[in-house]
Structures are given as C-alpha cells and as structure tokens.
C-alpha cells in the first residue's frame, strides 16, 4: 500500500509540473516515468509470479467451471477415501517423536511440476506408510509427500519457498516451504516441526501453528470430507442423480 501511495503522489506531482509548464522538471519526470513500469515489475515480482503461475495452471479453467467447484459445499472427498484418521494418527506420532514432515493435500490445483521433483508413488494413505516415508533414515524422508484423491502419488518432493519477508524469524525452512506451496496452489499443507514437535498447517499463504490432533482432524474434515448424509449424493467426485436431488428439494 505504501508503494501504491508513493506512485500516486509522484503522478500528482507530475500532473502539477505539466500544468505549470515547468519544462526542466517535466523532462526529468518523463524520464522517471519511462522506467517506472520496469521498476514496478521488479518491486511486485513475487506477486506477478504468483499470478502467472495461477494463470498458467492448465487446470484453472476446467476447475473454475467444474461441478465440484460450483457445488463445493456438497461435493468433497469422502472421509474414508482420504483416510483422515490415519493422516492425523501419523502426524500425532511425528509430533511426539519430533520427526519432521510435510504433507500436501491439493483441492483442485495441478501439481504435476511439483510431483516431478520427487519420487513417484501410487499407494493408499496409511499411518504406517507415512511413518515409513518420514523415518529419519529413510531415503524419501527429506521433502514433501503429495496426496491426491486419497492416494500418495509422490514423496521427497521439493516445494517452493515463501519469499514473504513479514513471516516471523522463528519460521524455519520447512514451514516456509509449506507456506510457499499454499501461496502458489489451493493446497492445504500439514507441517510437523522437527525442533519443537508441533503440528501446523498452511493454506492460502497463511499458517496456523501448534494445533492439536483433534484440531487437525476437524480442519481436514472441513476441507475434504463430506457428512454421512451427503455421501449418497457423491460418486467418484461427481454428482449422481442430481435431477432427483433437485426435484426433492423443490418439493
């Protein structure tokens, strides 16, 4: 905001100088304006990069028009498909044993480029598998696990690090990576601190630190799980028998 106010002030001064026909100062201001656009690109580089990443996501348009997004309050992953209980169990175990972990759960974003940085897997989510991946001496422990549609698709993935200078100094590289991932995608990233044994999560560029396993479970259900009464309306991520549902609602 301070930068925007500064640009507005410079523009007002430029208009006043031109109105008063001050040729020398006007020429100087013209030269300043000629490099102003380049200066703004440099200053707002992180924001412009994030915008282009979102714009370049090949699934952005399809996600925008998808049934899942339009009816996001109805259509989510069933809790048994995501296996929330095992994710929470694993994170609780990591926190107690002070084992660092990064778990990425995207909603709609295409994470193909991130997945390519790690080792591809294709297995169900379970506490034992997550424990084996993040075991300190395991070859896949250093990096993030990506979980898509209830399956572990990759491990040892490299996440983009947040360049947000306003983050507290105590935020380490693992947490900055989790925040960076949530800045460039719609993912919820679970972070377990190796130093403090705390569970945190990041979404939309923000972070909530030191939560309990119960709070993590509630958050995952809020983001990804459906209520038992709604499961009958969901089949493989798509609405089924929508006409019957709408007809019933109209009655």
Query: What confidence tier does 96 reach under pLDDT thresholds 50, 70, 90?
Result: very high
Same domain? For 105 and 197 the reply is yes
* Radius of gyration of the chain from its Cα atoms, rounded to whole angstroms: 24
Query: What confidence tier does 75 reach under pLDDT thresholds 50, 70, 90?
Result: very low
Q: Domain count of the chain?
A: 2
Same domain? For 76 and 28 the reply is no
Of 106, 155, 110, nearest to 130 (Cα)?
Answer: 155
pLDDT, one tens digit per residue, over 118-158 is 999 999 999 999 999 999 888 898 899 999 988 999 999 99
Of 120, 130, 143, nearest to 90 (Cα)?
Answer: 130
Same domain? For 123 and 34 the reply is no
Same domain? For 93 and 133 the reply is yes
Give the C-alpha distances (Å, rounded to integers) separating 50 from 47, 88, 193, 201. Answer: 5, 30, 26, 20
120-140 core/surface letters (b: 16 or more CB in 10 A; e: else): ebeeebbbebbbebbeeeeeb
List, in order, residues 6 or more apart from 172 with CB less than 8 Å away.
193, 195
Same domain? For 10 and 116 the reply is no
User: From CA 164, how far away is CA 175, in angstroms rounded?
Assistant: 12
Of the segments 4-8, 77-81, 181-185, which one has the largest average pLDDT value?
181-185
User: From CA 74, how far away is CA 194, in angstroms rounded?
Assistant: 37
Per residue, the 3-state secondary structure of 50-72, as one string, reads: HHHHHHHCCCHHHHHCCHHHHCC
The dihedral sign for the CA sequence 90, 95, 96, 99: positive
Of 105, 109, 104, nearest to 55 (Cα)?
Answer: 109
Give the C-alpha distances (Å, rounded to integers) separating 223 from 104, 107, 129, 136. Answer: 13, 8, 23, 29
**Is residue 90 in a domain?**
yes
**In CATH, what number is assigned to the domain containing residue 160?**
3.40.1700.10
**Is residue 160 in a domain?**
yes
Same domain? For 161 and 122 the reply is yes
Same domain? For 80 and 165 the reply is yes
Range of the domain at 17: 2-43
Q: Are 227 and 75 in contact (CB under 8 A)?
A: no
Q: Give the residue-averaged pLDDT of 51-79.
A: 51
Q: Is the predicted pLDDT of residue 245 greater than 50, yes or no?
A: no
**Is residue 93 in a domain?**
yes
Tokens representing 106? 């995207």
Q: Beta partners for 101?
A: 192
Region of poorest pLDDT, from 24-33, 47-56, 175-184, 231-240: 231-240
Of 203, 193, 176, 30, nearest to 98 (Cα)?
Answer: 193
User: From CA 103, how far away is CA 87, in angstroms rounded?
Assistant: 9
Q: How much of the chain, in percent, has pLDDT values that exceed 90? A: 41
Same domain? For 120 and 215 the reply is yes
């Amino acid at each position: 905001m301070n930068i925007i106010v500064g640009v507005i002030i410079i523009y007002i001064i430029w208009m006043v100088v031109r109105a008063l026909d001050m040729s020398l100062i006007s020429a100087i201001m013209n030269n300043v304006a000629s490099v102003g656009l380049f200066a703004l690109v440099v200053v707002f580089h992180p924001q412009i990069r994030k915008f282009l990443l979102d714009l370049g996501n090949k699934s952005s348009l399809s996600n925008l028009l998808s049934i899942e997004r339009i009816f996001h309050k109805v259509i989510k992953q069933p809790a048994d498909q995501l296996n929330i209980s095992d994710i929470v169990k694993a994170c609780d175990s990591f926190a107690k044993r002070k084992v660092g972990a990064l778990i990425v759960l995207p909603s709609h974003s295409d994470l193909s480029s991130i997945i390519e940085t790690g080792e591809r897997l294709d297995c169900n989510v379970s506490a034992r598998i997550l424990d084996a991946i993040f075991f300190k001496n395991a070859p896949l422990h250093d990096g993030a696990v990506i979980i898509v549609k209830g399956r572990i698709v990759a491990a040892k993935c490299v996440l983009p690090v947040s360049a947000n200078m306003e983050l507290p100094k105590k935020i380490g590289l693992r947490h900055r990576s989790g925040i960076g991932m949530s800045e460039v995608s719609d993912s919820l990233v679970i972070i377990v601190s190796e130093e403090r044994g705390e569970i945190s999560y990041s979404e939309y560029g923000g972070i909530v630190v030191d939560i309990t396993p119960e709070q993590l479970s509630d958050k995952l259900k809020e983001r990804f799980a459906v209520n038992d009464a709604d499961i009958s309306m969901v089949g493989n991520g798509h609405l089924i028998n929508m006409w019957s549902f709408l007809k019933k609602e109209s009655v």
